[in-house]
């Protein structure tokens, strides 16, 4: 297949961005001809796919919005981009593939001009995430206000995706079912492709490196913000300290805008139980720590959990988003925001060796379930999207504001 991707960011900021590039590399490795329209300012040299470099200057969350500027630059340079692809041996593209709705405007423009199907990958249920953040008081006043603005934008993009994408993939069944209910999209247009444990992230050298037999140290991986539930974990650690248990927590993640978290650590008097490590490669921590606690208020299918399972580090996590699909077993899940339950689950792991071994065993089972060829699943889905005749593609209208 000849696959066209779109990623006009100036820098890789999220795990989803990184995973998209990994996927395009893997699809190219499988023998597909893969071209990705990328920002010329992004410092990334592909190993297997071909980069179509276009300079796009924008300010994140600024005006005009990045999605508008991306489409404008792609439209202006479309003829040159197609000529570049032809000179590289690609006479015509078969399908467009993007991750996330930030590039939807550009992808729909390309779909209309090239008359080829769009395979859209949903990475996060931003609408429900905003509802959860507001209900939990996890947003600043500014974030609270803008969450309603972004929700309206996201609802519009959802409708466009449901109407015009030939195939839509989700990482978990919960997000897929909510999308179907909101948009009335046909279920036949959707497919579930969860995240996997695989190369290049999960190297063989880290597989099952964790050999812990008792709980002394835990690790938290994620932003130091209320949305990731770290405040609930810190309060649970306070409970553990009050009961006289010695349990240390290593915190991995970006520390920008973490003043609220730092103040809470001081207020709870648990500074001696916390090591703020910053944004680091997690694998050595996952190999050495005895448990990963993932207390997020919402996540679609977090890579951090997959990385923990790969190393053999047991995981307990909040039962939100895609985490019930990931971990399945009730022993590995707790209600988001339930400080007492988080503390109780950690205390059981400390006191009851059989329970701790049970957690390890269940996580080992879940690790095996995630060892599959991720790119192969996407490739099969793309071939499914190519099955209908191109003449059946819905036509974009002026109301779609392209």
pLDDT digits (tens, 9 = 90+) for 210-256: 999 999 999 999 988 888 999 999 999 999 999 999 999 999 988 87
Helices assigned H by DSSP within 173-322: 173-183, 230-242, 259-268, 283-288, 303-311
> What distance in Å separates the CA atoms of residue 218 and residue 246, rounded to the nearest whole number?
11
Helices assigned H by DSSP within 99-140: 104-114, 126-135
66-76 vs 104-114: helix crossing angle, rounded to 10 = 30
Which residue ranges form the domains of the chain, and what is each CATH number? 2-196+373-400 (3.40.50.2000), 204-369 (3.40.50.2000)
> What distance in Å separates the CA atoms of residue 46 and residue 125, rounded to the nearest whole number?
29
Give the other-Cβ count within 10 Å of 109's Cβ: 20
Helices assigned H by DSSP within 136-194: 141-164, 173-183
pLDDT band at 394 (very low <50, low <70, confident <90, very high): low
Which residues on neighbouring strands pair with residue 333, listed in sequence order? 317
Diameter of the chain by CA atoms? 69
pLDDT at 373 over 70: yes
> What distance in Å separates the CA atoms of residue 95 and residue 393, rounded to the nearest whole number?
12
pLDDT at 396 over 60: no
pLDDT band at 289 (very low <50, low <70, confident <90, very high): very high
Q: What is the mean pLDDT of the chain?
A: 92
> What distance in Å separates the CA atoms of residue 248 and residue 237, rounded to the nearest whole number?
9
User: Residue 19: enclosing H or E segment and its boundaries?
Assistant: helix 15-29
Of 11 and 74, the one with more pLDDT: 74
Phi and psi (nearest 5°) for 134? -65, -45
> Is pTM, for the whole model, over 0.85?
yes
pLDDT at 71 over 90: yes
> What distance in Å separates the CA atoms of residue 248 and residue 254, rounded to the nearest whole number?
19
Residue 391, pLDDT score: 44
> What distance in Å separates the CA atoms of residue 58 and residue 106, rounded to the nearest whole number?
15
pLDDT at 397 over 60: no
Of 399 and 310, the one with more pLDDT: 310
| C-alpha to C-alpha distances, 316 to 35, 38, 208, 300, 359, nearest whole angstrom | 39, 37, 17, 16, 8
pLDDT at 13 over 70: yes
What is the SS3 assignment for 118?
strand
pLDDT at 184 over 80: yes
pLDDT at 162 over 70: yes
Residue 76, pLDDT score: 96
């Amino acid at each position: 297949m000849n696959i066209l991707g779109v990623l006009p960011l100036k820098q890789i900021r999220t795990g989803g961005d990184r995973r998209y590039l990994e996927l395009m590399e893997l699809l190219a490795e499988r023998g597909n001809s893969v071209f990705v329209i990328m920002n010329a300012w992004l410092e990334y040299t592909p190993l297997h796919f071909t980069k179509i470099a276009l300079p796009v200057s924008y300010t994140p969350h600024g005006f005009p919005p990045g999605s508008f500027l991306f489409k404008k630059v792609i439209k202006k340079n479309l003829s040159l981009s197609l000529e570049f692809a032809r000179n590289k041996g690609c006479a015509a593209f078969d399908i467009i593939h993007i991750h996330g709705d930030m590039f939807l405007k550009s992808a729909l423009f390309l779909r209309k001009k090239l008359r080829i199907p769009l395979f859209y990958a949903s990475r996060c249920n931003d609408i429900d995430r905003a509802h959860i953040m507001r209900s939990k008081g996890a947003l600043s006043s500014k974030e609270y206000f803008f969450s309603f603005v972004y929700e309206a934008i996201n609802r519009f993009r959802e409708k466009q995706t449901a109407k015009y994408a030939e195939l839509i993939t989700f990482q978990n069944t919960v997000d897929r079912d909510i999308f179907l209910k909101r948009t009335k999209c046909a279920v036949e247009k959707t497919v579930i492709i969860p995240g996997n444990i695989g190369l290049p992230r999960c190297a063989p050298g880290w597989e099952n490196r964790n050999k812990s037999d008792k709980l002394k140290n835990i690790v938290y991986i994620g932003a130091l913000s209320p949305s990731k539930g770290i405040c609930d974990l810190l309060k649970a650690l306070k409970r553990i300290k009050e009961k006289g248990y010695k349990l240390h927590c290593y915190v991995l993640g970006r520390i920008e805008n973490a003043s609220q978290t730092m103040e809470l650590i001081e207020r709870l008097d648990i500074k001696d139980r916390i090591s703020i490590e910053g944004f680091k490669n997690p694998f050595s921590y996952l190999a050495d720590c005895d448990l990963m606690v993932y207390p997020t208020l919402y996540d679609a299918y977090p890579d951090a959990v997959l990385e923990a399972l790969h190393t053999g580090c047991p995981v307990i996590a909040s039962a939100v988003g895609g985490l019930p699909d990931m971990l399945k077993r009730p022993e590995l899940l707790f209600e988001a925001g339930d400080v007492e339950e988080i503390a109780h689950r950690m205390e059981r792991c400390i006191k009851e060796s059989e329970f701790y071994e049970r957690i390890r065993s269940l996580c080992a089972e879940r690790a095996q379930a995630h060892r599959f060829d991720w790119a192969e699943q996407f490739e099969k889905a793309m071939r499914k999207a190519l099955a209908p005749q191109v003449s059946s593609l819905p036509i974009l209208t002026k109301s779609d504001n392209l």
